[in-house]
Amino acid sequence: MFSDFAYLIVGLPVLAFVLCLFFGWHLPRGGGFMTALATFVGLIISWGIYKEMPALPNGILHQSMPWFANFNVGILVDPLAISMLLMVTFVVTLIHTYANAYMDGDPGAARYFAEAALFTASMLGLIYSDNLLQLFIFWELVGLCSYLLIGFWYRKPSAAAAAKKAFLTTRVGDVLFLLGIVLLYNNMASLNLHLAPGEYLLQFPVIYKYLALIPPTQLTFIALCLLGGAVGKSGQFPLHVWLPDAMEGPTTVSAMIHAATMVTAGVYLVARMFPLFYAAPNALTVVALVGAFTALFAATMGLTSFDIKRVLAFSTVSQLGFMMAGLGVGSVVGAASVGISIFHLIGHSFFKALLFLCAGSVIHAVGTNDMREMGGVGKYMKWTAYTMLIGGASLAGFPLTTGFFSKDEIIVTAYEYGLAQSFIPYLFLVLAAILTAIYTFRLWFVAFTGEPRSDYHKHESPWLMLGPLCILAVFALGFGIVAQGGFYEYVGTNFDHYGVDFAELGIIGGHVHGEEITGAEEVTEEGGVAKEGIVGEEGKVTREEEPSEPWYIQILPIIIALGGILVAALFYYLHKFDPSMVTSERDPIRKILLKGYYQHEIYTQWFAEKVIYGTSIVCNMIDIKIVDGALNWISEVLVAFGGGVRKVQTGVVQNYITAVMLGVVVLVVVIEIALQVGFV
């Protein structure tokens, strides 16, 4: 019965958007309770659908209606989508609740909640779209909401600039995404498929079904274009520059859009199209490399920043890199990597939303983002300090927290990938994991321990803010240990509901050889039950043997996490070492890191101002001199000709009469001659 109300998951936030927009001004706290309530009802419906799904045909919920031409609108809820739906509705409900207190007193509160509701609706719509075009529409909508909310304090020039930067940077990716959709559509259309009624070309089930018929080179192109969209949205190198700047928005926006939900849309897109990527191994390799590089690259920048939110933003970029890499190394483990990556995505949403909300709580009290002015906050804000400690431990991968299980699995999978193909992603990810632990605890120690370094308001935040923190802390701590095995199984087998044959796709991609396939099939035939019993997290198709990692690979993540925390503690808590022993103000490496590898400068001063501006000047010249010039020349010739001819119009009637007369005479003479000669 909940399935019949699936449309309400998007519908209610849209309703809340309209109500807040028009009536929020007259309601207490900008009508924020409506936004929170709408999302909460979405959570209930999602849970109901989750419970009903096994009873539905194929175990998925699919509703669709025709739109125009070859397109449709529809709802597709499969294990991948439902886990995202539950996570988004849950986390966003908590963030909206928190925002009710956080945004209290802001004159734009109604606008905030209207935009937040619109964002919620678009994000949920993005998740359960059943075709790529509809997904793209919601994809653009979340981009718009991100723009609006980053620039929420639009009178602040830096916020307006950050909003513009976010919009333009993601636009680069979105253009590629659209190109990918067009390419995919063209390829699908050129197959001349005989689609059953209710099937449309860009529907995901249809794409999965006929994927194998598209030429491999085309598949690689399409996959790379889609990856371009994901890189823009998920803040991967080289389009990550907008994400740290996006912290100009209210902290709840950072938690909701730029940590927990929207930025994961890119990862979700790659996961959603994973069969396509699997059939295009070159693109998958690019995914792995981009992800792993971003993970390390962003982590290094997180080390030096003093802005509490920017540190978290860099860590978000870094963790998104982990998720991408988790998908990218999927060429060795197949669809199971979707489970691994999405598990990290969801765990990350819990602890990163928690961290941002804690940071918001601190900023709310202290009134600044700068860690150097905090210090000792933990003494006055016990709840915030401990929930943030839990979030930080989870992010750093402290054993038995959520982040430990999810990140560990990605790193181990990267090791397997290393055995099969290349150790580069593994190396990057391990280094990134060490840095993650260090910068996370640097943040915590600097902000919450020691002595106050400035005079700030020493008070704890209201319970409306602390409640969501505590709930998120419970999930950041316990979700991993409770959900890990079952979750891999649940999401990792997502594509089995569509009957996607990963073995066949692997042959297209060329990274699974014929004999391995037969082996895999034998295993499946001999005893699926036994196999599932042993390796629960795997799909049916992939590894035909369980690679046994050496013990030091297994426990390496624990050492990494504890070591990183120890290093941070030595520097910033126990003060055994001083940071100035390793580095100084004039250290070039430190300067590069603090400046974010000068990427902003490279993009704006060099790329935008030199290359783009130079190209624009040349294009402008061509436009004015050649294109416009040709047109102007033609018109000038015509005008000159007309100017000559119009002299005939003397205004003297007699001249006209003379002309008529001469004309008649000539005509008569011509006719006479013609008659004489005999033409007529």
Partner 1 sequence: MIPVELYILLSSIMFTLGLYGLVTQRNGIKLMMCIELLLNSANINLVAFSANQPNANGQVFALFSIALAAAEAGVGFAILISLYRLYGTIDLDNINALRW
321-324-330 Cα angle (round to 5): 140
Q: CB of 644: closest distance to partner 1 in angstroms?
A: 10
Nearer to partner 1, 626 or 666 (CB): 666
Q: CB of 674: closest distance to partner 1 in angstroms?
A: 23
Q: Choose among 573, 348, 600: nearest CA to 475.
A: 348
Q: CB of 621: closest distance to partner 1 in angstroms?
A: 38
Residue 1 interacts with partner 1 (CB under 8 A)? no
Q: How far apart are CA 38 and CA 32, in angstroms?
A: 10
Q: Are 178 and 233 in contact (CB under 8 A)?
A: no
Nearer to partner 1, 580 or 654 (CB): 654
Nearer to partner 1, 657 or 667 (CB): 657
Residue 441 three-state SS: helix
Counting residues that bind partner 1 (by CB under 8 A) gives 12
Q: CB of 626: closest distance to partner 1 in angstroms?
A: 34
Q: How far apart are CA 510 and CA 219, in angstroms?
A: 13
Q: CB of 639: closest distance to partner 1 in angstroms?
A: 13
Q: Choose among 109, 170, 164: nearest CA to 142.
A: 170
Q: CB of 646: closest distance to partner 1 in angstroms?
A: 4
Residue with tokens 């993009």: 603
Residue 194 interacts with partner 1 (CB under 8 A)? no
Nearer to partner 1, 588 or 643 (CB): 643
Name the one range near partner 1 by CB under 8 A: 189-197, 477-485, 490-498, 657-665: 657-665
Q: CB of 619: closest distance to partner 1 in angstroms?
A: 41
Q: CB of 147: closest distance to partner 1 in angstroms?
A: 58
Residues 64-93 binding partner 1 (CB under 8 A) are none
From candidates 419, 574, 657, 673, binder to partner 1 by CB under 8 A: 657
> What mask, x for binding partner 1 by CB under 8 A, covers residues 636 to 655?
----------xxxxxxxxx-
If one counts every other C-beta atom within 10 angstroms of the C-beta of residue 217, the result is 10
Q: CB of 642: closest distance to partner 1 in angstroms?
A: 10
34-47 residues labelled b (16+ CB within 10 A) or e (exposed):
bbbbbbbbbbebbb
Amino acid at 355: L
Q: How far apart are CA 97 and CA 104, in angstroms?
A: 11
Residue 658 interacts with partner 1 (CB under 8 A)? yes
Nearer to partner 1, 574 or 638 (CB): 638
Q: Are 557 and 408 in contact (CB under 8 A)?
A: yes
Helices (H), 573-626: 579-582, 588-594, 599-601, 613-621
Nearer to partner 1, 632 or 650 (CB): 650
Packed helices 336-366 and 402-420: angle between N→C axes, nearest 10 degrees: 140
CA dihedral 186→191→196→198, nearest 10 degrees, is: -10
Percent composition of the chain: helix, strand, coil (DSSP 3-state, to 5): 80, 0, 20
Nearer to partner 1, 534 or 648 (CB): 648
Residue 615 interacts with partner 1 (CB under 8 A)? no
E strand spans, 18-176: 61-66, 72-77
Nearer to partner 1, 624 or 639 (CB): 639
Q: CB of 659: closest distance to partner 1 in angstroms?
A: 11
Region for residue 597 given its phi and psi (left: phi exceeds 0; alpha: psi -120 to 50; beta: otherwise): left
If one counts every other C-beta atom within 10 angstroms of the C-beta of residue 180, the result is 25
Residue 661 interacts with partner 1 (CB under 8 A)? yes
Q: CB of 189: closest distance to partner 1 in angstroms?
A: 59
Residues paired with residue 343 on neighbouring β-strands, in sequence order: none
115-151 residues labelled b (16+ CB within 10 A) or e (exposed):
bbbbbbbbbbbbbbbbbbbbbbebbbbbbebbbbbbb
Q: CB of 647: closest distance to partner 1 in angstroms?
A: 6
Q: Does an H or E element contain 461, and which?
A: none
Nearer to partner 1, 627 or 662 (CB): 662
Q: CB of 667: closest distance to partner 1 in angstroms?
A: 16
Nearer to partner 1, 454 or 650 (CB): 650
Residue 589 three-state SS: helix
Nearer to partner 1, 620 or 650 (CB): 650
Tokens read off for 6? 């699936």
Q: CB of 620: closest distance to partner 1 in angstroms?
A: 38
514-516-522 Cα angle (round to 5): 110
Q: CB of 666: closest distance to partner 1 in angstroms?
A: 16
Residue 307 three-state SS: strand
Q: CB of 660: closest distance to partner 1 in angstroms?
A: 10
Packed helices 109-127 and 79-102: angle between N→C axes, nearest 10 degrees: 170
Nearer to partner 1, 619 or 657 (CB): 657
Q: Choose among 430, 149, 383, 339: nearest CA to 263.
A: 149
Q: How far apart are CA 426 and CA 431, in angstroms?
A: 9
Residues 379-418 binding partner 1 (CB under 8 A) are none
Nearer to partner 1, 648 or 677 (CB): 648
Nearer to partner 1, 618 or 653 (CB): 653
Nearer to partner 1, 548 or 654 (CB): 654
Q: Does an H or E element contain 456, and which?
A: none
Nearer to partner 1, 137 or 662 (CB): 662
If one counts every other C-beta atom within 10 angstroms of the C-beta of residue 580, the result is 9
Q: Which one-letter DSSP state was computed for residue 237?
A: T
Q: Choose among 247, 303, 246, 238: nearest CA to 592.
A: 303
Q: CB of 632: closest distance to partner 1 in angstroms?
A: 24
Nearer to partner 1, 196 or 653 (CB): 653
Are β-strands 72-77 and 61-66 bridged in parallel, bridged antiparallel, or unpaired?
Answer: antiparallel
Interaction site with partner 1 (CB under 8 A): 646-654, 657-658, 661
